[in-house]
Amino acid sequence: MQKNILTTLLLLLFAGVGMAQENLITNPGFENITDNAADSWTIAGGATGGAAANNPSIGYPNNSSNAHGGNRYLNGGSSWGSKTKTWCYTITQTDITLAAQEYQLSFYYKLQGCTLKADLVDVGDNSVLTLNGVKGNTSWTQLSGNVTITTAGTYTLVFTAEQTVDGQTNDYFQIDDVRLMDASADLRPSLRASQLIP
Ligand SMILES: [Ca+2]
């Protein structure tokens, strides 16, 4: 009987968590592509150390074996010999409406050679949260961080990927499964010691 009650309580807990988990990012896994561009994301930038011909490739390979989730992911970087100049790209999603509360931002990435960071930016162009990827993570790695929003409004998520050394022909970055959600929907805060001690 006790086991049944426990099971019921756990089911209710997970049902409640499931209902609260709303991802505020649109097309978070780069699954929706129109004319070779990911819906709801804007790509800007290119080669900084040479002509546009040095722009590295940005694409959304349809390969479920390589994606972290679903079929596609964002793949960018120098992948062949002639694209050896430095470059910088931004990958942006605008119009993310946030309330004055705590949120958790997370994403999965791979990173070889270049740098990759994510900024949550307010209307005044101030970053309220920065997450920095670690070079050399060439298998899918999750990066996450929390931010308490003090001013409700419209925010922008900006990924910046930059390659600053000439001649690095195999540098790349990959992103998948971006998530921005109410931090209270995460399971982990319920285990915080501060909440266990009255
Ligand atoms: Ca995906």
14 Cα: distance to centroid of ligand 1 (angstroms): 24
pLDDT of residue 80: 53
Q: Is residue 47 part of a domain?
A: yes
Q: Is residue 91 part of a domain?
A: yes
Note down the domain range covering 92. 23-186
pLDDT of residue 43: 94
29 Cα: distance to centroid of ligand 1 (angstroms): 4
- Total structural domains within the chain: 1
Over residues 140-197, the pLDDT tens digits come to: 999 999 999 999 999 999 999 998 877 667 788 999 999 999 998 755 544 554 555 5
Over residues 22-73, the pLDDT tens digits come to: 999 999 999 999 999 999 999 998 887 766 666 777 899 999 999 999 999 9
Give me the CATH number covering residue 164: 2.60.120.260
| Residue 197, burial from CB neighbour count under 10 angstroms (0-12, 13-18, 19+) | exposed
Q: Is residue 56 part of a domain?
A: yes
Q: Is 148 helix (H, G, I), strand (E, B) or coil?
A: strand
Q: Is residue 157 part of a domain?
A: yes
- Of the candidates 114, 38, 23, the residue with the CA atom closest to the CA atom of residue 74: 38
Q: Is residue 4 part of a domain?
A: no
Q: Is residue 5 part of a domain?
A: no
36 Cα: distance to centroid of ligand 1 (angstroms): 15
The answer to whether residues 99 and 24 touch, using CB atoms and an 8 Å cutoff, is no
Q: Is residue 121 part of a domain?
A: yes
Sheet of 57-59: strand order equals 57-59, 74-77, 172-182, 102-112, 141-148
27 Cα: distance to centroid of ligand 1 (angstroms): 9
Q: Is residue 82 part of a domain?
A: yes
- pTM for this model (two decimals): 0.81
